[in-house]
Amino acid sequence: MPENTASPLPYVSVVIPALNCRGDIEDCLAALERQDYPRDRFEVIVADNGSTDGTREYLKHSWAKLCLCPERGRARALNAGLELASGEIICTTDMSCRAESNWIRTIVEDFADPTVGCVAGEIKLFDSALRGRVIDFQRRANYMSPMLALQRKKIPFMPFADGANASFRRKVFDEIGGFESSFIKAADVEICYRLFALTHYRILFDYRALMWEPGEPSLGALLHQRLRMGIGWNLMRMKYPLLYAESGSRSAQAIYWSCRAAVGEAGAFLFRNIQALFGRDRAANHDDNIRFLMSQVQSFGRVYGRWHLRRRGIAPTPLDARAQLRLIAAGGVADRVVVRGEEATKP
């Protein structure tokens, strides 16, 4: 149980899923130890998801609380951590991330607004020994930033908090349940959609609640992430069939426009690379090529995902149709998204 329960400051639980993260533990926990929020007002819970590299053994002797979740899956590990959590605010992140010293305090300040049910913090690429075109692309494109989700303004694509820096009011889980355990990808997206559909809470995007992350180390890792995002799209389509009815259409017209768009992208890809031979900015060309590959792999992931999920017998139960129809009737959630601290990012 939390100490000093008479304190006016809310008690916070930081829940971190972990799978073979032994090399990241010290730095992650050290960043959390440096928080400027009172140490007796937060706890760190690490949900080990079946590590075999010494992660579990190290955590047994650390100041963090350890819980075991042998059944694989990030969503399952988070739910195991939630069961142990005592906080009225639940912060989630990954072991590879490093929190700024004001991270918890900033999130607590955001939840002072009773209409806020989720805080989506910023994520930036931290400096590391990794170098190369893929890392440079992620840095130039600000690829890690969850704030890019603010561009998602048309149903079925709505803003969401990235799981590496997503915090929730405990009451949200009490009202709508935990993370969707059947989701092998996009559980962070799904729970934000469920928040919009089943509650009146808002999501606050705060640039000041900053987390640092290493990014994807190689092109293969980046493309594998996009493949899994394509699989996640299928899970979202099954959970929210009414929202995704149009974007998931297999009609002849939809297929025609999809093929036409693919041909157009391929043509633009060839044209850009021909331009590069005659002096076009090489860095910009590399970035465009990576974006093209990411787009193609994610599209393939959507097709592959149907087969992959069917083979594994994964089929999330659709959300109540009336809740989906309310979102459609509202035309989106623009009035339930708040942005704070953006001015702090401007020179």
Check residue 101 and report its DSSP letter: T
| Structure confidence at residue 345 as a pLDDT band (50, 70, 90) | very low
- Which residue from 118, 179, 169 is spatially nearest to 146, judged by alpha carbons? 118
pLDDT of 247 higher than 70:
no
Q: Is residue 111 part of a domain?
A: yes
- Domain containing residue 77: 12-217+338-345
Q: What are phi and psi of 199, to 5 degrees?
A: -130, 175
> Residue for token digits 């590590």?
51
242 neighbors 323 (Cβ within 8 angstroms): no
pLDDT of 126 higher than 80:
yes
pLDDT of 344 higher than 50:
no
Distance CA 206, CA 108 (A): 12
Distance CA 108, CA 105 (A): 5
Say how many Å lie between the first and final Cα of the chain, rounded.
44
| Structure confidence at residue 265 as a pLDDT band (50, 70, 90) | low
Q: What is the pLDDT of residues 73-87, one digit of tens each?
A: 999 999 999 999 999
- Quote the crossing angle between the two packed helices 133-140 and 219-239, to the nearest 10°: 50
Q: Is residue 109 part of a domain?
A: yes
162 neighbors 229 (Cβ within 8 angstroms): no
Task: Say if strands 202-213 and 98-99 run parallel, antiparallel, or are unpaired.
Answer: antiparallel
280: tokens are 């076009």
Confidence at residue 267, expressed as pLDDT on a 0 to 100 scale: 64
Check residue 157 and report its DSSP letter: B
122: tokens are 């910023």
> Residue for token digits 């603010």?
150
Q: Is residue 64 part of a domain?
A: yes
Confidence at residue 347, expressed as pLDDT on a 0 to 100 scale: 37
Confidence at residue 60, expressed as pLDDT on a 0 to 100 scale: 94
CATH number at residue 198: 3.90.550.10
Q: Is residue 271 part of a domain?
A: no
Least confident of 30-34, 169-173, 212-216, 254-258: 254-258
Distance CA 91, CA 108 (A): 10
Would you say the pTM of this structure is higher than 0.85? yes
Confidence at residue 193, expressed as pLDDT on a 0 to 100 scale: 97
310: tokens are 């069917």
Least confident of 108-112, 259-263, 320-324: 259-263
Confidence at residue 283, expressed as pLDDT on a 0 to 100 scale: 74
Q: Look at 254 and 111; give whichever has higher pLDDT.
A: 111
Confidence at residue 8, expressed as pLDDT on a 0 to 100 scale: 87
324-342 burial code (b ≥16 CB/10 A, e <16): beebeeeebbeebbbebbe
224: tokens are 């594998």
Q: Is residue 288 part of a domain?
A: no
Confidence at residue 256, expressed as pLDDT on a 0 to 100 scale: 52
Confidence at residue 286, expressed as pLDDT on a 0 to 100 scale: 84
Would you say how long the chain is, in residues?
347
Confidence at residue 39, expressed as pLDDT on a 0 to 100 scale: 96
Q: What is the pLDDT of residues 278-309, one digit of tens each?
A: 555 677 888 889 999 999 999 999 999 999 99
List, in sequence order, every residue forming a beta bridge with 338; answer none if it has no partner: 204
Q: Is residue 173 part of a domain?
A: yes
pLDDT of 42 higher than 70:
yes
pLDDT of 142 higher than 50:
yes
Tell me what the pLDDT averaged over the chain comes to: 89
- Which residue from 94, 91, 98, 92 is spatially nearest to 32, judged by alpha carbons? 98
Give 169's contacts (C-beta < 8 A, 6+ positions apart).
88, 89, 90, 111, 116, 117, 118, 201
Q: How many domains does the chain have?
A: 1
Q: Is residue 28 part of a domain?
A: yes
Beta-sheet strands, E only, within 233-314: none
323 neighbors 144 (Cβ within 8 angstroms): no
Confidence at residue 133, expressed as pLDDT on a 0 to 100 scale: 87
Q: Is residue 167 part of a domain?
A: yes
